[in-house]
Amino acid sequence: MEKDQISKITEARRKYRPEKIKYLLIGKASPINEDAYFYFENVPQGDSMFLEVMKVIQPRQITLYLNSKRDSFKKAYLLKEFKREGFYMMDLCNGPSDTSISRFREELDELEKNGNIDEATKIIPLFSRVYDFLLEQLGDTGMLIKVRIFGPGSGQQKFFNAQFRQALELAGYHFHD
C-alpha cells in the first residue's frame, strides 16, 4: 500500500477517533479495494466490514443507509454515531499484503499515551487470527473480549454478526434494537 493511501486511511480514522475509546475493534488489514476502507464516507461497494459491524450496532440506520444507495452523508452520520458511542476500529496491518504490525503497535501506544484507551477499554478482535495474536500479546488483562470471531467474508455474515453481538454483550454494550 502506498504512503498516500496510508495517509488517507490514517486521516479518515483520526477524524472519527473518540476522545475516550470504550470499544476498540481490531481487524486484520485494510481491504484489498483501497477505496472501500471502513472510515471512508463515499464507498459505493466493497465495505462489508463496515456494513456488518453497523448491522449489529445500528440496525435501523444501516438499513436507511443502504436504502439511500449508500449516501455518503448517511455513512458520515453512522460514523459519527460510532464515534459518539466510543467505538474505534483499527487494523493490525496496513494492507492485505503487509505483515508488519509496527504501525499497529505505534498507534496502540499513542492511544494509551493520549488517554484514549485505558484498562476499562474493551478490545474486540474481529478475526480469529487477530484474537490469537492479541491473546498472546495482551494475555489475560481483562481488556480483551474472549470471543473468537470469524470475519464476515465468504458468506459468513450471519456467524460474524452473532459472534460480534456476543462479544459486545460481554463488553457491556447496550443495544439500540
The pLDDT-based confidence of 29 (bands split at 50, 70, 90) is confident
In this model, does residue 24 exceed pLDDT 80?
yes
Answer yes or no: is pLDDT of 133 > 90.
no
Residue 49 host element (H or E): helix 48-57
- Contact 16/79 with Cβ under 8 angstroms? yes
pLDDT of residue 150 exceeding 80, the answer is yes
Q: What is the mean pLDDT of the chain?
A: 88
What's the rounded mean pLDDT across residues 28-54?
84
Helix (H, G, I), strand (E, B) or coil at 177: coil
Question: The pTM is what?
Answer: 0.92
What is residue 30's predicted lDDT score, i.e. its pLDDT?
Answer: 67
Closest CA to 28 of 133, 106, 107: 133
Taking the C-alpha atoms of residue 134 and residue 174, their distance in angstroms, rounded to an integer, is 24
- Average pLDDT on 110-135 reads 93
Listed by start position, the domains of the chain span 3-33+86-171
Confidence (pLDDT) at 4: 77
20-42 as b/e: b if 16+ CB within 10 A: ebbbbbbbbbbbeebebbbbbbe
Query: Average pLDDT for residues 2-25, to the nearest whole number?
Result: 88
Q: How far apart are CA 99 and CA 104, in angstroms?
A: 11
Instruction: Give the pLDDT score at 31.
Output: 65
For 114-126, write each residue's pLDDT tens digit: 999 999 999 999 9
| Dmax (CA) of the chain | 43
Distance CA 30, CA 47 (A): 10
Task: Give tens-digit pLDDT for 53-100.
Answer: 999 999 999 999 999 999 999 999 999 999 999 999 998 876 555 556
Q: CA of 101: how far to CAs of 28, 40, 53, 85, in Å?
A: 10, 22, 23, 27
pLDDT value for 96: 55
Q: Between residues 158 and 36, which one has the greater pLDDT?
A: 158
